[in-house]
């Protein structure tokens, strides 16, 4: 596989090996088995010279990946021990809500609690300071969300303040992503964009988004992103209906024809607009079906490269990332463990991001096997930590 022989990937792998071997309990075979499990059931793609396992991680041959590899506390033997424990000096990814404004009224919106509030968006200078602080902390992925982040006309200025230590992503409904804007964002340093789409049927998508014409807007945005050479993703909230009717299969095939580089499948999470729709939350059996989609789609070329949240955050991979690998900053500057969790650990406008992260990370209690926002450790037995950490620690276990 070409990825393994790329200069950056070799550098990052051997950096970890050299640091880990200071601990006598470590063996090279542990890192190899752990790495093979990471890419198991993935379809590696190359974009702009960068190798992507999935958009939950920076490209493996990038400075952003090196940033997340080294940002674990401890020197000598403690560096390896803390990796196995899931301890971090910085999250792998932080998403920043740069606005609460949105022209849509989506059925599943996780940010609905902030809609209609009168507070202004964060100033450009404040967002730039936040992203620079995140980079200095060691965050490898900085994502921009909202509301609809494309409403902000200063995104290019913000992106230009971010260097290669972080991969940048944009999460959008597609409204306003013209060809010219896509090129402008690419030139400013944006790596990838995820465009939400809920159905292969235009009327269904429009209804779920609460906006007539949303379907066509999303398709045009995907085309414009792809032509601008952005890493282009389609993002789907997979409902029970999409699973039961098989429409998720047809939607995946359709999006592949649209030229996306990756399909991201999310399950409904009980927050925001879905707090009052508990019947929409998938069962554990349906979660397993989502995991099977990740495996099936990546194995067959008629489907696009796919990353399913239920797979990536399962016990067989990394587990829930809240406060361990991931964090979120809302439109007021409140630092949270996840986009789907309301609890704030402090405000980044008035307190050091590093200090808030330490508090959040300590409170998280380490890696968990299931979604913290759902208040249960689904698809996990007992108190075991996810396979990533167990394999790195030397356990011989069977994975998916």
Cα–Cα distance between 341 and 273 in angstroms, integer? 13
**Has residue 271 got a pLDDT over 80?**
no
Averaged over 367-383, what is the pLDDT? 60
Cα–Cα distance between 206 and 203 in angstroms, integer? 5
Q: Indicate the length of the chain as a whole number.
A: 400
Averaged over 194-221, what is the pLDDT? 94
24 burial type by CB count under 10 A (0-12 exposed, 13-18 middle, 19+ buried): exposed
Averaged over 140-167, what is the pLDDT? 97
- Confidence band, pLDDT 50/70/90 cuts, at residue 79: very high
DSSP 57: S
Q: How many CA atoms lie within 13 A of 175 on its CB side?
A: 18
Q: What is the per-residue DSSP string for 165-217? A: TSEEEEEE--TT--HHHHHHHHHHT--EEEEE---SSHHHHHHHHTSTTHHHH
- pLDDT tens, residue by residue, 14-25: 999 999 999 999
- pLDDT tens, residue by residue, 88-137: 999 999 999 999 888 877 766 655 565 555 668 999 999 999 999 999 99
Q: Which pLDDT score is estimated for 397? A: 84
CB 329 within 8 A of CB 109: no
- pLDDT tens, residue by residue, 312-322: 999 999 998 89
CB 345 within 8 A of CB 351: no
- Confidence band, pLDDT 50/70/90 cuts, at residue 369: confident
Q: Which pLDDT score is estimated for 379? A: 44
Averaged over 384-399, what is the pLDDT? 88
Range of 279-288, 290-299, 391-400 with top mean pLDDT: 290-299
CA angle at 110 for the pair 104 and 111, rounded to the nearest 5° = 65
Q: Which pLDDT score is estimated for 376? A: 45
- Confidence band, pLDDT 50/70/90 cuts, at residue 161: very high
* Residue 90 vs residues 32, 72, 363: alpha-carbon distances, Å: 24, 8, 14
112 burial type by CB count under 10 A (0-12 exposed, 13-18 middle, 19+ buried): middle
Averaged over 356-377, what is the pLDDT? 80
**Has residue 277 got a pLDDT over 80?**
no
Q: Which pLDDT score is estimated for 125? A: 97
Q: Which pLDDT score is estimated for 116? A: 53
Cα–Cα distance between 93 and 295 in angstroms, integer? 24
Cα–Cα distance between 206 and 103 in angstroms, integer? 12
Q: Which pLDDT score is estimated for 377? A: 43
**Has residue 341 got a pLDDT over 70?**
yes
Averaged over 55-80, what is the pLDDT? 97
Cα–Cα distance between 53 and 59 in angstroms, integer? 7
3-state helix, strand, coil in the chain (%, to 5): 40, 15, 45
DSSP 119: P
Q: What is the average pLDDT value for the chain, to the nearest integer? A: 91
């Amino acid at each position: 596989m070409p990825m393994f022989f790329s200069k950056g990937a070799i550098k990052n792998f051997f950096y970890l090996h050299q640091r880990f071997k200071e601990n006598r309990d470590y063996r090279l075979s542990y890192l190899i088995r752990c790495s093979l499990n990471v890419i198991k059931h993935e379809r590696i793609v190359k974009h702009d010279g960068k190798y992507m396992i999935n958009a939950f991680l920076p490209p493996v041959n990038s400075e952003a990946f090196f940033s997340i590899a080294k940002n674990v506390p401890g020197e000598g033997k403690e560096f390896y021990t803390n990796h196995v424990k899931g301890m971090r000096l910085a999250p792998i990814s932080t998403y920043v809500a740069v606005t609460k404004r949105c022209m849509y009224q989506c059925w599943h919106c996780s940010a609905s609690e902030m809609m209609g509030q009168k507070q202004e968006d964060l100033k450009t200078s404040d967002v730039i300071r936040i992203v620079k602080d995140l980079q200095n902390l060691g965050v490898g992925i900085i994502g921009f969300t909202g509301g609809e982040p494309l409403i902000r006309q200063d995104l290019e200025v913000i992106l230009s303040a971010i260097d290669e230590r972080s991969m940048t992503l944009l999460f959008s409904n597609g409204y306003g992503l013209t060809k010219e804007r896509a090129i402008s964002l690419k030139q400013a340093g944006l790596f990838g964009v995820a465009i939400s789409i809920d159905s292969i049927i235009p009327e269904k998508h429009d209804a779920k988004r609460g906006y007539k014409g949303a379907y066509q807007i999303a398709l045009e945005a995907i085309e414009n992103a792809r032509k601008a050479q952005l890493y282009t993703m389609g993002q789907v909230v997979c409902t029970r209906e999409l699973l039961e009717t098989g429409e998720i299969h047809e939607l995946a095939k359709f999006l592949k024809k649209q030229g996306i580089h990756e399909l991201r499948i999310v399950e409904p999470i009980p927050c925001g607009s879905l707090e009052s729709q508990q019947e929409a939350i998938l069962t554990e059996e349906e979660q397993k079906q989502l995991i099977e989609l990740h495996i099936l789609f990546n194995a067959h070329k008629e489907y696009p490269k796919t990353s399913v949240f239920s797979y990536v955050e399962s016990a067989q991979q990394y587990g829930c990332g809240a406060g361990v690998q991931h964090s979120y900053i809302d439109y007021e500057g409140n630092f949270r463990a996840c986009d789907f969790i309301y609890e704030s650990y402090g405000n980044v406008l008035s307190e050091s991001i590093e200090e808030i992260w330490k508090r959040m990370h300590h409170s998280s209690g380490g890696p968990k096997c299931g979604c913290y926002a759902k208040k249960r450790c689904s698809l996990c037995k007992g108190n075991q930590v996810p396979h990533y950490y167990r394999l790195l620690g030397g356990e011989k276990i069977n994975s998916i």
